[in-house]
Amino acid sequence: MIRFFRSGNPLTVLLLLIYTIFVKFYYFLHPVTYLKDGGEGLLYNLVVGWIDSFAYKNALFYTFLTVVLLFLQALLFTKLINQHRLFSRSTYLPGMCYILFSSMYQGWNQFSPAILINLVMLWVFSNVPNLYNRSSARDVAFNLGFAVGVCSLIYFPSVIFVLLLFMGLVAMRSFRLAEWILALLGLACPLYILGTYLFLTDQWALTGQLTRIGINIPMIHDYKVWGALIANVLFFITGWIIIQRSFNKMLIQTRKIWNVWAFYAFIAMLIPFFTATFSANYWILAVLPISMFAGNVFWSIQNNTFANAIHILLLLYVIVMQYFSQS
C-alpha cells in the first residue's frame, strides 16, 4: 500500500479517493451536523446559515461535505508539496497521512470553522514561497495578511496565525518595515470591510461575534482525543528529527519552508486554547502541517514491509477507535 502512495503517479488520486471512503465510512454511518459551540466566528455562522437554507441541518449532508473538503484538502496539500519539491520526488504520502490522521477522532470529521480555515491556510502556504527571491513582496505580504484576516472572521483565535505570517517574513526575507505594515493592514481589512457592511446594514449588534477569544486550558478526559494527539505529536517529532538529517542537502528555500511548516504545526496546536469554549475539534488545524512530517516518516522508511506494518497498525487503531470503542 505505502509504495503506491510513495509514487507520484496521477492515478494515485483514484487510490486516495478509495482510501478516503474506506477510512471515513464510519462517519457516514454515524453522521453529525456542524460544530456550534459558541466560539465560532460571524463568517462561519453566515456560511452555515446559507448551507442550512437548502440542507436543513441534514447530518449526512454535512458529513459528506466535510469528507469532500478533507479529500480536496489532501489533494491540494499534495500538489503544494510536490510543486515546491519538499520531497526529493513527487509523492502522495502527505495526502494519505492527512486522510489517515484526521480519521483518528470523530470531531475532526465534523463540519467546523477549522475545516474552512485549513482551506484558506493551504492558499496561504502556496504563496509563502513567493516571499523568497523577490525584490519587493509588498503585494504578497498584504494578500497573506488578508487571508489570515479572513480566517479570524471564521474563528477569531486563528488571528494568532499572524505570528506564522511574521515567521514567514523573517525566514524568507530580510526585514522591510513596509512589508510588515502591509501585512498588518491586510489582516485588518476583512474586519474593516465586514464591520462597515454591518454598520451600513444596521446589524452592528452582530459585531459581538467577531472577536470571541479567551484562554481556556481544560482537563481532557476523552481517551480518543489523547490517542489521536499522541499519535500526531509522535509522528511530528519523529518526522522533524528525520528531516534534520537531510537539511544540509536541501536548497536554502526548501529548508526555510520546512522550518515555517514546523512553526505552523506548533502554532496550530496552541490555537484551541485561546477560546472561552474549548473544543478538541480545532486540532484538525494542526493535523494538516503534521501530516507533512508524518509523510516524511513513511518516505524515509526504505523497507516497504516495515512501512506497511506501521501503516497497518495506524489503520487498525483508527478502525478500533471507530467501531469497537465506547463513545
Of residues 99 and 302, more confidently modeled: 99
Name the residue among 145, 109, 138 with its Cα closest to residue 35. 109
Per cent of the chain over pLDDT 90 is 59
pLDDT by residue (tens digit) across 184-205? 999 999 989 988 888 888 888 7
The pLDDT value recorded for residue 221 is: 87
Determine the Cα–Cα distance for residues 314 and 155; give it in Å rounded to an integer. 30
The pLDDT value recorded for residue 114 is: 95
Sequence ranges of the domains in the chain: 2-128+221-323
42's CB contacts (< 8 A; 6+ apart) are 153, 194, 206, 207, 209, 210
Q: Cell 479570524 identifies what position?
A: 152
pLDDT band at residue 327 under the 50/70/90 scheme = low
In this prediction, residues 151-172 reach a mean pLDDT of 90
pLDDT by residue (tens digit) across 108-147? 999 999 999 999 999 998 888 888 777 778 888 999 999 9
The pLDDT value recorded for residue 143 is: 92
Per cent of the chain over pLDDT 70 is 99
pLDDT by residue (tens digit) across 220-275? 888 999 999 999 999 999 999 999 888 878 888 888 889 999 999 999 999 999 88
Determine the Cα–Cα distance for residues 137 and 261; give it in Å rounded to an integer. 20
The pLDDT value recorded for residue 269 is: 94
Determine the Cα–Cα distance for residues 279 and 152; give it in Å rounded to an integer. 17
Give backbone dihedrals phi and psi of 34, rounded to 5 degrees, phi first. Answer: -105, 160
pLDDT by residue (tens digit) across 39-51? 888 899 999 999 9
Task: Report in angstroms the alpha-carbon separations of 173 from 19, 134, 169, 176, 263.
Answer: 40, 9, 6, 8, 16
Name the residue among 325, 199, 171, 142 with its Cα closest to residue 257. 171
Name the residue among 58, 48, 66, 40 with its Cα closest to residue 276. 40
Chain centroid to Cα 231, Å, comes to 16
pLDDT band at residue 326 under the 50/70/90 scheme = low
Q: Cell 523577490 identifies what position?
A: 134
CA torsion angle 289 294 296 302 (round to 10)? -170
On average, the pLDDT of the chain sits at 90
Residue 27, pLDDT above cutoff 80:
yes
H helix or E strand, kind and range, residue 323:
helix 304-323
Task: Report in angstroms the alpha-carbon separations of 320 from 103, 227, 251.
Answer: 11, 12, 42
**pTM (whole model) above 0.85:** yes
